[in-house]
Chain A
Amino acid sequence: MTDKSVKHEKAAARQVAALFFTSIVGSAFAVYAYFAFPITEELGTVRLNTLLLGLGITLGLLGIGIGAVHWAKTLMPDAEVSEERHIARGSEEVRARAVEIIKLADSESGFSRRKLIRRSLYGALALFPLPAIMIFGDLGPNPGDTLRHTMWKKGTRLAKDPSGLPIKASDVTIGSVFHVIPEGLSELEHHKLEEKAKAAVLLVRLDPADIKESEERKSWSYDGIVAYSKICTHVGCPVALYEQHTHHLLCPCHQSTFDVTDACKVVFGPASRPLPQLPITVDAEGYLIAQSDFTEPVGPSFWER
C-alpha cells in the first residue's frame, strides 16, 4: 500500500519514527526511574525500582525492534530476490599459494627437520591435561559408611528444631507433631547441615490402639509416641505434611504418602520403601531418647542399597 500512495508512505514513516521515539522515551525513563525511585531500607522500594527500570528498558528495546520490523515491512521493497550459491572451493592459484605458505612456514620454523623439538612438543601436549585428572580425583573423598549412619546413637535425647531443647514424653500430646533434631546438633562445629539432613525426625503421638506394630518393633515406640525419619525414601525431600485424622504423612515434592499407623509404609506415590523408624524410649528424667541409630540407611536408595 505504501508504495502506491504517498499518503500511506508518509503515515508509515511517521509510525516508524514514533516507535523509535518511544524507545528514546523508554530509555530516558529508565534512567529517570533509577534515580527518582531509589532503593532504600524498605523492601517495597526494590520492587518499584526494578519494575519501573524494567518497564523503561523494555520500552527502549521493544521500540527499536518493532520500529525496525515495521520499517522493513512497510517502507522497504518487498520484491523477492534469489541469490546464487557460490562455489566453496578456492581457485587453483589460491590453493597453490596456500601450500606455498605452509611449506615456507615449515622450512623457516624447521618443524619437520628438528626432531627433538617436535617430539618434545608432542610429549608436552600429551601430558598437560594430566593435572586436570588429578583435580577430578579431589571431588571425593568416597562417602564411606556416612550414608548408613546418622548422629543418633543410644541415649541421644530428642530435641526440638531449631531450639535444641529436649522433649519430654509428657509434652507430646495426642495429635501433636514435633520436628526433631538430635540433642547436640546445634553445637556441632562442622557438617551441621549434613548431619541435620540425615538425622531430621518427625515425632507423633497416636492412640496406642491405632498403631499396627510388628512384634520386633513393639519396643520401638513409647506409649503411642513414634519417631520416623523425615527424609523421603524417594529423592530425599523432607516429608512433613502430617494429617492428624488420617495419620498420613505426605511428601510435598512428589506426593508420596506414608501411613504413620502402619510403620510408615507407602500408601501412594513414587517412594518405594517405608520411612525408617527411630527406636525411642524415655530416660530417668522423662525425656525422650533414642535407643540406637536408625537400623537402616535413611533417605533415597543409593548404589549399594
Chain B
Amino acid sequence: MKNKGSRRSPFAAVLVMAAGLALTGGGYAAATAAVEQVKPASAVASAAQVEEGRKLFLANCASCHGKAAEGSAAGPSLIGVGAASVDFQVGTGRMPGQASGPQLQAKKVQFTQEQIDSLAAYVASLAPGPAVPTEEMLAADGDATRGGELFRINCAMCHNAVGAGGALTEGKFAPSLTGVESKHIYEAMVTGPQNMPVFNDANLTPEDKKDIITYLKYVEENPSAGGYELANLGPVVEGLFAWVFVLGLIIAITIWLGAKSN
C-alpha cells in the first residue's frame, strides 16, 4: 500500500538525530573551550606569553616602573607583587595611570584580558607573588553570614557596612564595591592596592575571602528591607534628604495654607 498521507521522508529521523548530535557535541566542545579560556592565568605561563608580556610592559609600563620593573621615582618596583596585583590594577583600568591625584581611580580598561594575562605572567616571572585566584575560590557559594561578620570587622570601617565605599584622608577614598568583579575583590584583599592594607591568607584564609565575596554578592543582589537606601551612605545623605526635601515640602504646605485662595 502506498503511504500517501505521510509527509515524512524516511531520512528525516536520521537527519534530526544527526543535527541533535552535532548541536550537543558542538555545544559541549564550545563550553569546554570557554571553561578553559577562563583559567589560563592559573596554568603555568608559557615562555611565549611571558615574552609577549615583557613587550607590552616595555611599551606601556616601563616609563614609570623601570625597564626591568625595578621601579623609579614615578612608580614602585613590581618585583614580587605577583600576577594578582597586575590583574587587579590593569584589569580595573587603574593602570596605566593617566593623571596624578590623591589616588588612581578605576577607569576604562585599556587592554584585553589576554594582554593582561601576558603582563601578569611577565611580572609573576620576575619573582614569586600572589597568583590570580581560581574560579573555585571566587564562587559566591560560601557562608554570607560569616562573611558579613568578617567584612564588618576587617573592611566595613573604610568600605561601609554594605560596601558602599567611604572617604579617607586628604581626598583619598575607599571605593564602592558594588558591581566589582569577585576576582578583583579577591585580588585587592591579597595584594592591598594603593592605601588598602594587605589581607594575606594567614589573616583572612581563602575560605574567609570566599565568604566575604559571598556576603558582598548577597547584599548586591538582595534589596534592602529598610526601604530605599539613598546610596547607603548613612546619616549625611539621609540628613540632607530630610533637610532639603522634607523640610521643603513642609514649607511649601505652610505657604499654601497661608495663601489666599483664588
* Chain A contacts to B: CB under 8 angstroms: 1-2, 43-44, 46-47, 50-51, 69, 73-74, 78, 160-162, 167-168, 170-179, 204, 238, 240-246, 248, 250, 252, 255, 257, 268
Contacts and interface: CB of A to CB of B under 8 A. Distances in A.
25 contacts: A1-B262, A43-B222, A43-B223, A43-B225, A44-B223, A44-B225, A47-B224, A73-B261, A160-B203, A161-B153, A162-B153, A167-B202, A171-B202, A172-B203, A176-B197, A176-B200, A177-B199, A179-B154, A238-B157, A240-B157, A242-B197, A243-B169, A244-B196, A245-B194, A257-B169
A246 B194 CA distance: 10
Contact of B195 (A173, A246, A257): A246
Given A44-B225, A168-B202, A252 B195 contact: no
Interface string B155-176: 0011000000010110010100
Given A2-B261, A176-B192, 8 more contacts: A44-B225, A47-B227, A73-B261, A179-B153, A243-B169, A244-B196, A250-B168, A252-B166
B131 to A, nearest CB: 16
B157 A171 contact: no
A199 to B, nearest CB: 14
Contacts of B154: 179
A167 B166 CA distance: 29
A6 to B, nearest CB: 17
Given A43-B225, A168-B202, A250-B168, A241 B157 contact: yes
B185 interface: no
A249 B107 CA distance: 27
Contacts of B230: none
Contacts of B157: 238, 240-241, 252
B52 interface: no
A244 B153 contact: no
Interface of chain A: mostly helix, strand, loop or mixed: mixed
B172 A243 contact: yes
Interface string B172-192: 101000000000000000001
Most chain B Cβ neighbours within 10 Å, of A172, A176, A204, A243: A243
A255 B225 CA distance: 30
The 5 closest A-B pairs by CB, nearest first: A171-B202, A73-B261, A177-B197, A243-B195, A240-B157
Contact of A173 (B158, B198, B260, B262): B198
Contacts of A46: 225
Contacts of B227: 47, 50-51
B169 A246 contact: yes
B224 to A, nearest CB: 7
B101 interface: no
Looking at chain B's contact residues, the main secondary structure is loop
Contacts of A162: 149-150, 153
B257 interface: yes
B141 to A, nearest CB: 19
Contacts of B260: 73, 78
Contact of A244 (B149, B194, B203, B256): B194
A241 B195 CA distance: 10
Interface in B206-248: 222-227
Given A50-B227, A74-B261, A173 B200 contact: yes
Contacts of A177: 197-199
A212 B167 CA distance: 27
Nearest to A257: B169
A153 to B, nearest CB: 23
Nearest to B149: A162
Contacts of A175: 192, 197-198
A74 B260 CA distance: 9
A170 B200 CA distance: 11
Nearest to A247: B195
B169 A248 contact: yes
A176 B224 CA distance: 32
B166 to A, nearest CB: 7
A177 B154 CA distance: 9
Contacts of B150: 162
A130 B60 CA distance: 82
B235 to A, nearest CB: 11
A161 B150 CA distance: 8
Interface string B73-110: 00000000000000000000000000000000000000
A171 B203 contact: yes
